[in-house]
């Protein structure tokens, strides 16, 4: 069963400790949270807040730079939190400019995934828009090259809205990589407008109903809402929680 979660980057502008934000999230229909850092909180404080709220730690976005320079501390931190999924939030546009670049990116991240899996974590890669560079060979996009080359232990956290912003049909890709996707970023967008890279659900062009049905058909575990450029996080938190519930009920 697909469950609703929120990427906490959406709520970063609340002027309160992250532990208080977790309690705020727990009052909505979200069942899980995905981290983008812990703010000034200790891993133990976050773990205690998760226990108090019964929110599930769906995953944690950790940059490639941090994983390379502070690997041991990162592993220790998220073990304490009880978060078993590490998501690499981006690789960089240079990794998807050609078939060769995408192959190199896949190999590099697969090697990192080997280490994290050995340390007890699941590992996923989160797309932006630039992965969908069109190629002229046997692969439709650089993302397809990357996915074909990446090791099985590297999952794909598919961001629906960013794929659509990159002029890709997200439903086609959800179907294509259903066996690799357990985490889905349910985002909306307006292509061609970088100021609307993220918008609240229903304010963009994404066919949300079709995407949620595809997520259910793919047996994904979590639909993770994000609006990284919202100017009203309180309103975004409540209104989009209700919208996800409606989408799941009708899927």
User: Domain ranges in the chain?
Assistant: 3-250
For residue 63, the model assigns a pLDDT of 97
Number of Cβ within 10 Å of residue 219's Cβ equals 12
For residue 93, the model assigns a pLDDT of 95
For 171, phi then psi, to 5°, come to: -65, -40
Q: Which two tokens stand for residue 202?
A: 């229903």
Confidence of residue 193 (pLDDT cuts 50, 70, 90): confident
Residues 6+ apart with CB under 8 A from 238: 28
Question: In CATH, what number does 3-250 get?
Answer: 3.20.20.150
Show contacts of 203-208: CB within 8 Å, 24+ apart: 204/161, 204/164, 205/164, 206/160, 206/161, 206/164, 206/170, 207/171, 208/243, 208/247
Region 36-47 average pLDDT: 97
pTM confidence score: 0.96
Burial classification of residue 233, based on how many CB atoms lie within 10 Å of its CB (0-12 exposed, 13-18 middle, 19 or more buried): middle
Burial classification of residue 5, based on how many CB atoms lie within 10 Å of its CB (0-12 exposed, 13-18 middle, 19 or more buried): buried
Q: Which two tokens stand for residue 18?
A: 């992250």
Grouping H, G, I as helix, E, B as strand and the rest as coil, residue 159 is strand
Helix (H) or strand (E) holding 156: strand 154-159
For residue 251, the model assigns a pLDDT of 87
Return the percentage of the chain with pLDDT > 70, whole number.
100
pLDDT of residue 195 exceeding 90, the answer is no
Could you give the C-alpha distances from 12 to 70, 81, 82, 188, in angstroms and in order?
A: 23, 19, 21, 19
Nearest to 161 by CA among 200, 133, 213: 200
Region 222-251 average pLDDT: 95
Sign of CA dihedral 113, 116, 118, 121: negative
Could you give the C-alpha distances from 92 to 77, 120, 173, 242, in angstroms and in order?
A: 25, 26, 20, 33
Query: Contact at 8 Å (CB) between 184 and 174?
Result: yes
pLDDT for 113-139, tens place per residue?
999 999 999 999 999 999 998 887 777
């Amino acid at each position: 069963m697909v469950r609703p979660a929120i990427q906490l980057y959406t709520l970063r502008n609340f002027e309160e400790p992250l532990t208080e934000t977790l309690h705020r999230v727990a009052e909505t229909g979200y069942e899980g949270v995905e981290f983008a850092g812990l703010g000034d909180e200790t891993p133990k404080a976050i773990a205690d807040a998760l226990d108090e709220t019964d929110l599930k730690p769906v995953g944690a976005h950790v940059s490639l730079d941090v994983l390379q320079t502070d690997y041991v501390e990162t592993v220790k931190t998220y073990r304490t939190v009880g978060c078993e999924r590490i998501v690499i939030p981006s690789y960089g546009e240079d990794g998807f400019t050609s078939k060769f670049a995408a192959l190199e990116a896949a190999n590099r991240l697969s090697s990192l995934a080997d280490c994290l899996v050995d340390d007890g974590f699941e590992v996923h890669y989160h797309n932006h828009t630039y992965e969908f560079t069109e190629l002229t060979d046997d692969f439709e996009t650089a993302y397809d090259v990357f996915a074909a080359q990446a090791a099985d232990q590297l999952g794909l956290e598919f961001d629906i809205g960013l794929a659509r912003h990159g002029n890709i049909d997200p439903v086609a890709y959800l179907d294509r990589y259903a066996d690799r996707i357990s985490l889905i970023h349910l985002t909306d967008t307006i292509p061609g407008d970088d100021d609307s890279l993220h918008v609240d659900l229903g304010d963009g062009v994404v066919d949300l109903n079709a995407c949620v049905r595809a997520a259910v058909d793919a047996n994904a575990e979590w639909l993770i809402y994000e609006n990284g450029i919202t100017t009203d996080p309180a309103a975004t938190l409540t209104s989009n929680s209700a919208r996800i519930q409606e989408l799941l009920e009708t899927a």
